[in-house]
């Protein structure tokens, strides 16, 4: 379990010690005395030795703390390692609290079982420790923007935008589990009888939500390639790309049939990905800087007499051996962290290569994908945060009409216009009273181009709306309130209105050469205000397809 808390380091540690002591007392063990501040180590680069307490038969508690590796001012850590007897070995629980020079307090809890003897198999899963269940609500634990709670939270339609922002947030580390409710079951009964037992192995490893019927519809309209329905439960791994059809396959679905066949087995299957991710993800910087545990030496009484010299020599040899062992343990821990970072980089590089290949073989309607214009660097060579040449100040300036805008669409190498130009050109007749429409459309296209350049490299950090909310320095900013993820439930379910938004795309995007373009940019206000409808396929073909520029398509507010 790796979460953050807004509590100061000392307060989080006091809460952890209190709950750990209460649990030990409940289990019939001695309650540990308050921890004393450790003296500074003689070697400033060495970790202070741990304090070892024996709290009963085969129950050991090691406590240590001190500065993080990285020099003065790097931050501090405190750690508690508890060992208790198990039927065929030892249960080990390690709680680490670390705070860097800046940022939140991190809480890291590891539970494992060490077996003894040959022929005894380790249990396939260590249960979620009671300490985790006790600490989560007290710490107000969080994972990036999301609160990490014990039980699944029911969401309504008003909560869907927040859930999508959470799924796409680059700071999210934990998987997000989203459950749907079948049409033939009531919400309360399904949550109580199915979802809560199903998520019983997830506290601290994932965040969990249940979509009520209204929220389910809104969610599936906005994330058509990542939908969940019919009583199924879906696990959304970090770095969701809502516009990618290919990314949808990365997030596993647990069908209702599998859940109802064997709820206990289904709970184990649901916890598989969160457990894998918890083991493979690189640690946050403060936790990665925690030194390995330095076990206190035992029986170092040298005494006096003729054998004292030999005893001192033996202890010196043991101390040297312990120092070598500790160095080896630290080297293994650092190597494991490097492997975790390498695995993550390779996964991201593989995804970027898939996007590049898909874009290379994808043809726009009526021809092949447009090559880079002469004299222009490929979009993939543009560094993050660097504005694209399209629409750059001093280049050609924003167009004064839609006729000029349509003629200059080639300045956006990652945007393909697939619609009918007539609806856009007709807007020039209204330009006398709405002179800013063409300029605002150009601003939107410029922002879409810059977003696409980052998205094809996997560096956009979310969808286009999130890009607008957190536009990198040096890039063109488009108002976030004018970037809309999708149409309303009413529009999506209305056959005629939905058909208006089924716009042309290449065959490599959809075999029917049509796709629903609910995402759009608001070019103005009022019933006749223009809209720009687009499909974000950066993670598929590596392009954005604009299927319509014109007056507002039909909905409940248009005549």
The pLDDT profile of the chain, 559 residues, written as one tens digit per residue, is 999 999 999 999 999 999 999 999 888 888 888 876 555 544 544 556 678 898 877 889 999 999 999 877 889 999 999 998 888 788 999 999 999 988 899 999 999 888 776 544 444 578 899 999 999 999 999 998 899 999 999 999 999 989 998 998 888 999 999 999 999 999 999 999 999 999 999 999 999 999 999 999 889 888 888 999 999 999 999 988 887 777 888 899 999 999 999 999 999 999 999 999 998 889 999 999 999 888 766 544 444 455 556 656 655 665 555 566 667 777 777 777 777 778 767 766 666 666 556 555 554 444 334 333 333 333 333 444 444 444 443 346 788 889 999 999 999 999 999 999 999 998 888 755 566 888 999 999 999 999 999 988 878 878 899 899 999 988 999 999 999 888 777 776 777 888 888 999 998 888 889 988 989 999 876 656 789 999 998 877 889 999 999 988 877 555 4
Cα distance between the two ends of the chain:
54
Q: What is the model's pLDDT at position 379?
A: 38
8-state DSSP, 291:
P
Structure token pair of residue 374: 């002469």
Close Cβ partners of 347 (under 8 Å, ≥ 6 residues apart): none
- Nearest 10 degrees: Cα torsion 349, 351, 355, 357: 70
**3-state class of 305 per DSSP?**
coil
Please tell me the distance from the alpha carbon of residue 303 to that of residue 86, in angstroms, as a whole number: 37
The answer to whether residues 302 and 311 touch, using CB atoms and an 8 Å cutoff, is: yes
- Residue with token string 């909310």: 469
Question: Burial letters for 452-462: b for 16+ Cβ neighbours within 10 Å, e otherwise?
Answer: bbbbbbbebbb
**3-state class of 153 per DSSP?**
strand
Q: What is the model's pLDDT at position 316?
A: 61
Please tell me the distance from the alpha carbon of residue 341 to that of residue 483, in angstroms, as a whole number: 34
Q: What is the model's pLDDT at position 320?
A: 56
Residues comprising the chain, all counted: 559
Please tell me the distance from the alpha carbon of residue 189 to that of residue 224, in angstroms, as a whole number: 27
Structure token pair of residue 443: 């601003």
Q: What is the model's pLDDT at position 319?
A: 56
The answer to whether residues 547 and 534 touch, using CB atoms and an 8 Å cutoff, is: yes
Count CA atoms within 13 Å of residue 442 on its CB side.
Answer: 25
Burial status of residue 167 (CB atoms within 10 A of its CB: 0-12, 13-18, 19 or more): buried
**10 Å Cβ neighbour count for 84?**
18
């Amino acid at each position: 379990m790796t979460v953050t808390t807004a509590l100061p380091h000392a307060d989080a540690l006091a809460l952890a010690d209190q709950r750990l002591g209460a649990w030990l007392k409940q289990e019939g063990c001695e309650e540990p005395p308050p921890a004393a501040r450790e003296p500074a180590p003689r070697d400033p680069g060495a970790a202070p030795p741990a304090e070892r307490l024996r709290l009963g038969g085969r129950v050991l508690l090691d406590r240590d703390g001190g500065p993080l590796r990285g020099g003065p001012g790097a931050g501090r850590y405190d750690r508690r390692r508890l060992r208790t007897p198990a039927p065929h070995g030892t249960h080990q629980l390690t709680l680490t609290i670390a705070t860097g020079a800046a940022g939140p307090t991190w809480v890291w809890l590891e539970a494992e079982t060490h077996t003894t003897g040959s022929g005894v198999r380790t249990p396939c899963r260590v249960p979620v420790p009671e300490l985790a269940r006790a600490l989560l609500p007290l710490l107000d634990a969080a994972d990036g923007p999301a609160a990490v709670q014990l039980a699944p939270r029911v969401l309504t339609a008003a909560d869907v935008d927040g859930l999508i922002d959470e799924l796409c947030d680059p700071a999210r580390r934990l998987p997000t589990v989203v459950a749907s409710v079948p049409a033939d079951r009531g919400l309360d009964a399904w949550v109580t009888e199915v979802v809560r037992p199903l998520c019983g192995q997830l506290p601290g490893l994932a965040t969990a939500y249940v979509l009520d019927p209204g929220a389910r519809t809104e969610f599936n309209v906005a994330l058509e390639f990542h939908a969940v329905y019919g009583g199924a439960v879906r696990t959304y791994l970090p770095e969701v790309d809502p516009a990618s059809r290919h990314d949808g396959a990365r997030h596993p679905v647990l069908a209702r049939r599998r859940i109802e066949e064997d709820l206990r087995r289904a709970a184990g299957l649901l916890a598989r990905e969160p457990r894998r991710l918890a083991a493979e993800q690189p640690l946050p910087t403060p936790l990665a800087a925690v030194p390995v545990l330095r076990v206190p030496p035992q029986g170092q009484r040298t005494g006096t007499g003729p054998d004292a010299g030999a005893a001192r020599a033996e202890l010196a040899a043991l101390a040297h051996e312990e120092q070598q062992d500790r160095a080896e343990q630290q080297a293994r821990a650092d190597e494991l962290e490097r492997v975790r970072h390498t695995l993550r980089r390779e996964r991201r590089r593989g995804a970027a290569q898939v996007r590049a290949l898909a874009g290379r073989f994808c043809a726009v309607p009526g021809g092949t994908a447009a090559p880079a214009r002469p004299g222009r660097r490929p979009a993939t060579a543009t560094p993050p945060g660097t504005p694209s040449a399209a629409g750059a100040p001093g280049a050609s300036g924003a167009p004064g009409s839609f006729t000029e805008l349509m003629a200059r669409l080639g300045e956006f190498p990652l945007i393909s216009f697939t619609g009918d130009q007539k609806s856009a050109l007709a807007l020039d007749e209204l330009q006398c009273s709405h002179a800013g429409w063409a300029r605002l459309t150009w601003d939107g296209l410029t922002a879409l181009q810059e977003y696409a350049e980052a998205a094809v490299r996997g560096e956009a950090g979310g969808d286009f709306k999130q890009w607008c909310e957190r536009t990198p320095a040096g890039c063109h900013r488009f108002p976030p309130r004018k970037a809309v993820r999708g149409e309303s439930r009413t529009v999506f379910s209305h056959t005629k209105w939905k058909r208006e938004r089924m716009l042309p795309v290449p065959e490599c995007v959809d075999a029917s050469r049509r796709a629903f373009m609910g995402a759009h940019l608001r070019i103005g206000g009022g019933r006749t205000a223009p809209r720009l409808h687009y499909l974000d396929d950066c993670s598929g073909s590596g392009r954005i397809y604009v299927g319509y520029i014109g007056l507002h398509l039909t909905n409940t507010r248009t005549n």
